[in-house]
Structure 1
Amino acid sequence: MKKKILLLLAVTIGLGASGAAAWYFGNRHAANSETLTLYGNVDIRQVQLAFNGSERIAKMLVKEGDRVNKGQLLAMLDTATLQQKVRKAEADSEAARLAAVNAASTYRRTRMLVDQHFVAQQQADDARTASDAAHAGAHAAQAGLELARRALADASLYAPDNGIIQERILEPGDMASPQRPVYTLAMTDPLWVRAYVKESDLGRIRPGMHAAVATDSYPNKRYNGWLGYISPTAEFTPKSVETTEVRSSLVYQVRIFVCNPQGELRLGMPATVTIALGQPAATNNEHCRNP
């Protein structure tokens, strides 16, 4: 009798444990279905900076690791020859301007003499032709002066945007040209996490959804972000897929833009992205402002 009671009690406990386990795992699955977790790496844009002109470098003002702001002076070419060209172009432009003024005055005087029948019409026509040519020469000289000034301005290299100098390629004394990069600039804004989404999860996300980004380097911090881009094409698979088995394994690149005011996120850093599903879309500023 006691054995039957103990057996019945064991069965009851087993059924209860099975039910509890089923409830636990079922609820955990339901909870997990409300969020989407992605794994990726921090990515940024990189640009190679070069001078527009060709001359030897006189000064390099920043080095690897320096943070620079948009419009900041980064390097300068030797400007001695360029300054001489500007001075010569200024002199040529002034001379051409005076020549045009004199030619115009000569034409006006000749025109008056023609009206008074002191000179032939042919002389007035010649004076007008000379005046037109002088004005054309003045315009050409002014254009040459603007080109010389532009070349002098191009002897200074400025940062196109905020960022970090990733690589200093040339040094003072090197010959610069538009084809030779001087610096590699890592642009810190925008900054995003590049991750991939399965085709089966593609219909659960949309641009503008809020996301939380975590990294191993700062495990106790969460960075605010938002889903900014979903690739229109699959990657790492053929373009046309015929079978449902392969179709379910398609992945699409997404970019989760991140607010990084402290500058802690670095290029290539592994990151975990959590997106709460079923949320309303928000603007970029709202994501950065609201934790």
Structure 2
Amino acid sequence: MNGRIEKIYVEEGQRVNKGELLLSLNTDAIENQIKGVKSTLEFATTTFEKQDNLWKQGIGSEIDYLTSKNNKESLEAQLESLEAQKRMSQIRAPFAGVVDKIFPKEGEIASPGFPVMEFVNLSKLTITADVSEAFVGKIKEGQNVELSFSSLPDVMIKTPIIRVSKVITSSSRTFEIEMEINNPNETIKPNMVSSIKIKDFSTDNAFVVPSLAIRKDITGKYVYTVNKEDNQHIVGKKYITTDLSYEENTMITDGLSKGDQVVVKGFHLVSAGVPVNVVK
């Protein structure tokens, strides 16, 4: 509702409890209306009570009875509406928290659509992230993620996903996920940027090699291996099929066998058929 700010009861940075009065608007006009309606309602109530007694005795017309009854009920509804408006002139804390910022000053006009206070509770935060549609079907509610913050290098939090959006954003081709975290020390602040690690694939057995060890020619991708021939270690060349990569490693799905020794250091200095010394 519109109104002149009568009193601001808090300061920026102040902690308040749920229901505590933060700000009130001037209510002189509403209170005058309430006084007028109460006075008229008192007379209307007395009139109705007398008409009601007469009606029960079979005295008077039905029109007089209904008119007095309707007049009383109409004034009661008007009074209730005015008292509701008066209650709306007081802004109370919707939850326990901190008054972060106060925008207007006492005496200024407050009106709908213009912020009055920025009020926060940092004990529990909601984190949202946009994920590429390529991961649709791989990410589900309840799946654990790891959260980290570049400005807080010592903070790492594991928490489940509580919501996965059902809609793909057409402009970015992403969908939104949501997590909640406890923040008892209020270390994490609203609008901080976080990094989220999501495990979208796992396997018990896989061949994994450093990505840099994978070479490529016109035939395809390959790695150098070491084979023992006539008491010598000879470099071999094996073409491979790669799959997922993560950080500095790549999974090999075909081309390697259990026991193969892959050259992962000095691979740029060797070629197939060259004898080498194996250093472990």
**Shorter-normalised TM-score: what interval?**
0.5 to 0.7
In the alignment, structure 1 residue 272 sits paired with structure 2 residue 203:
no
What secondary structure sits across from 2:131 in the alignment? strand
The one of the two structures with greater contact order (alpha-carbon pairs below 8 A, sep at least 6) is 1
In 1, Cα distance between the equivalents of 2:191 and 2:159? 17
- The Cα shift of 1:278 comes to 7.3
- CA change 1:70–1:211 in 2 (3 A) is farther
Determine which of 69, 74, 93 is the counterpart of 1:159.
93
How many residues are aligned here? 202
Report the equivalent of 2:33.
Answer: 85
For residues 234 and 127 of structure 1, the distance between their equivalents in structure 2, rounded to whole angstroms, comes to 69
SS at match of 1:106: helix
Q: Distance in 1 between matches of 2:27 and 2:35?
A: 12
Structure 1: give runs of 5+ residues left out of the alignment.
1-52, 112-123, 239-249, 280-291
Question: So what's the TM-score if we normalise by structure 2?
Answer: 0.62
Which deviates more, 175-184 or 145-154? Answer: 175-184
* 3-state DSSP of counterpart to 1:97: helix
Normalised TM-score (structure 1):
0.60
1:259 to 164, 179, 182: 182
- Do 1:89 and 1:148's aligned partners in 2 also have CA atoms closer than 8 Å? no
Q: What is the root-mean-square deviation of aligned Cα atoms in Å?
A: 2.8
> Which has a greater percent of strand?
2
Aligned residue in 2 for 1:97: 45
Q: Using the TM superposition, give the Cα deviation of residue 264 of structure 1 relative to its aligned residue in structure 2, in angstroms.
A: 1.6
User: Matches of 1:128 and 1:144 in 2, distance apart?
Assistant: 24
SS at match of 2:63: helix
Query: Shift in Å at residue 190 of structure 1?
Result: 5.7
Structure 2 SS opposite 1:208: coil
1:215-226 alignment runs, 5 A limit: 215-226=149-160
Alignment of 1:174-189 (within 5 A): 174-186=108-120, 188=122
Query: 2: CA distance between counterparts of 1:270 and 1:144?
Result: 51
Matches within 5 A, 1:71-82: 71-82=19-30
Distance across 2 between alignment mates of 1:104 and 1:166: 57
Structure richer in helix, relative to its length: 1
Quickly say closer, same or farther: Cα 1:278–1:160, change in 2 above 3 A.
Answer: farther
The percentage of aligned residue pairs carrying the same residue is 21
Deviation at 1:68, TM superposition (A): 4.2
Residues 1:192 and 1:154: Cα distance change in structure 2 (over 3 Å)? closer
